[in-house]
Amino acid sequence: MKIRLFPLIFLFGLAIWFMSSCNSGENANTDELAGETIDSSDIREEILISMLAPSDMAVMLMDNPDLHFNKDIINPSSNYKKYNTNSKIALNIGVYTADLSYASLFDQEQITYDYLDIVKGMSEEIGITQSIEKRHLDMIKNNKLDKEHMMKIINESFMNTDAYLRENNRQKVITMILIGGWVEAQYIAVSLTNDSPETNPKLTESILAQKISLELMNKALENVKGDKTLMPLKNDIDKIYKLYLLLEDNMSDANFKEFCNLIKQVRNSYIV
Amino acid sequence: MNLKVKHIIATALFAFIALTSANAQCIDLVKTKGFTYLDTSKYIPEARFNALPLREGDNVDIYKSFFKGRTYRIVVVGAENMPKLNFKVTNFQRQILYDSNITKEESWDFVSDKNQNLIISVEVPEAAKDKKPQSGCIAVVVGFSY
């Protein structure tokens, strides 16, 4: 019995290993995000740094009745075809998630649907097979949903992605998605200020409030020295944080403009 | 292949399967018990997935940003086989803002009076000395009112 049972167990294990390899994004053009392992089988004291998701970030920044939707400032949908490395795809899943969340806040159902579909495709390209459910896409396509309902769908979709990546020990991918989303949401917000803190004081206040979420991001990136994928992103975050400190010290028009310019420069480097 | 090697491989496979299955249960815990306690008719669940498998005696700290003027509900729930969980919300100086040991509630509603990063510390009580520690998912679900 033992002799017959073992090949079965072995084949079953082999099948699981094979499936998990197929789902880990190794078929993308480069696999610079492969090989991450976090051993969660023997946890005694765990720390989770729960940085803001792009969709929550968009709500915190853009939930403001004085704002409007401007299609020209979001990352064009046609750009997704040119992202052909895992890093670029991960960053721009975050970018597009922030964009679609911004669109959903201003009842742009078609853009929300199109961008969710793009995020679904990009996620599958890097092996995230359980992100946006078809029933959610159908709900957006076939119904006139209110903002609140849209937010719930978008957040649940992001949570699926987050859970999938955590369960597959792909922490680096989720970190890149979160950074891409953070920068894009800030980019939309600073674009709507026209580089002046006076344009919409409530929006300026929301932009400044995000210093605390950047502090958490810094904490999450504390141990990435030597990581060639995350180090450049950490440098971007450090530069932005320095300007936050400058604004805290002296909230002048010139300093705010410098902050806006840096956000734009960083964001534009992510979407190329 | 000798019997010892077979045993090691089989044990590793079973451990892998058990872990994968435990992880899959965590998202279910969030979306069922977590969302029920959150009351999604009143609170929009935030998008981050803050759930993981733990054993009795383990604990987890979750660092999270809260924004001025927003109304939040923090929910802490565990799988059916887990004991009632304790959780505290503190600032980074470890001053306690909320302690479920006092209120005996699974959730805390509050309005953030400033932009702040807080720590949600969840503790799974230890198993009795004569019992094998249970393990299962725990989930922290945060929502905001809109």
pLDDT band at A35 (very low <50, low <70, confident <90, very high): very low
Instruction: Residue B90: list chain A partners with CB under 8 A.
Output: none
Q: How far is B78 from chain A (nearest CA, A)?
A: 16
Average pLDDT of the segment spanning A90-112 = 96
Nearest-by-Cβ selection for B60 from A48, A156, A211: A48
In chain A, pLDDT over 90 holds for what percent of residues?
72
Residues 36-75 of chain B with CB under 8 A from chain A are 40, 44-55, 57-65, 67-68, 70
| Out of A78-87, A111-120, A169-178, B5-14, least confident range | B5-14
* Mutation site for B-interface testing, chosen from A9, A46, A241 by largest number of B Cβ within 10 Å: A46
pLDDT band at A21 (very low <50, low <70, confident <90, very high): very low
In chain B, pLDDT over 90 holds for what percent of residues?
79
Can you give the pLDDT at residue A119?
Answer: 96
Q: What single string gives the DSSP state of each residue in A46-99?
A: EEEEEPPPHHHHHHHHH--TT----GGGSPPGGGGGG--SHHHHHHHHHHHHHH
How many CB atoms within 10 Å of residue B39? 14
Can you give the pLDDT at residue A9?
Answer: 53
Answer whether A162 touches B (CB < 8 Å): yes
Interchain proximity A163–B116, CB inside 8 Å? no
Cα separation of A106 and A70, whole Å? 10
pLDDT band at A36 (very low <50, low <70, confident <90, very high): very low
| Out of A44-53, A82-91, B77-86, least confident range | A44-53
Answer whether A14 touches B (CB < 8 Å): no
Q: Which residue has the higher pLDDT, A243 or A139?
A: A243
| Out of A198-212, A216-230, B84-98, least confident range | A216-230
Is 70 exceeded by the pLDDT of residue A19? Answer: no
Average pLDDT of the segment spanning A184-207 = 97
Can you give the pLDDT at residue B133?
Answer: 92
Average pLDDT of the segment spanning A193-215 = 96
Query: Residue A119 contacts by C-beta under 8 Å, 6 or more apart in sequence?
Result: A93, A96, A97, A100, A131, A132, A157
Rounded to 5°, angle at Cα B117 from B111 and B119 = 95
With contact defined as beta carbons under 8 Å apart, do A48 and B63 qualify?
A: yes
pLDDT band at B54 (very low <50, low <70, confident <90, very high): very high
Answer whether B18 touches A (CB < 8 Å): no
pLDDT band at A209 (very low <50, low <70, confident <90, very high): very high
Amino acid at A217: M
* Mutation site for A-interface testing, chosen from B19, B27, B65 by largest number of A Cβ within 10 Å: B65
pLDDT band at A45 (very low <50, low <70, confident <90, very high): confident
Can you give the pLDDT at residue A270?
Answer: 98
Which CATH number is B91's domain given?
A: 2.60.120.380
Coil, strand or helix at A250: coil
Instruction: Residue B135: list chain A partners with CB under 8 A.
Output: none
pLDDT band at A155 (very low <50, low <70, confident <90, very high): very high
Interchain proximity B52–A159, CB inside 8 Å? no
User: Please, which residues bridge with residue A43 across strands?
Assistant: none
| Structural domain harbouring B98 | 3-145
Structure tokens at B77: 């729930």
Q: How many domains does chain B have?
A: 1
Average pLDDT of the segment spanning A229-251 = 97
Q: What would the pLDDT profile of B81-129 be if each residue is shown by its tens digit?
A: 999 999 999 999 999 999 999 999 999 999 999 999 999 999 999 998 8
Can you give the pLDDT at residue B29?
Answer: 97
* Mutation site for B-interface testing, chosen from A5, A153, A167, A215 by largest number of B Cβ within 10 Å: A167
Compute the residue count for chain B. 146
Average pLDDT of the segment spanning A50-79 = 95
Is 70 exceeded by the pLDDT of residue B2? Answer: no
Can you give the pLDDT at residue A6?
Answer: 55
Cα separation of A128 and A164, whole Å? 7
Interchain proximity B48–A51, CB inside 8 Å? yes
Answer whether A48 touches B (CB < 8 Å): yes
Is 70 exceeded by the pLDDT of residue A129? Answer: yes
Instruction: Residue A215: list chain B partners with CB under 8 A.
Output: 117
Instruction: Residue B55: list chain A partners with CB under 8 A.
Output: 43
Give the largest CA-CA distance in chain B: 65
In chain B, pLDDT over 70 holds for what percent of residues?
84
Can you give the pLDDT at residue A145?
Answer: 86
DSSP state of B41: T
pLDDT band at B10 (very low <50, low <70, confident <90, very high): low
Average confidence score pLDDT of chain A: 87
pLDDT band at A7 (very low <50, low <70, confident <90, very high): low
pLDDT band at A38 (very low <50, low <70, confident <90, very high): very low
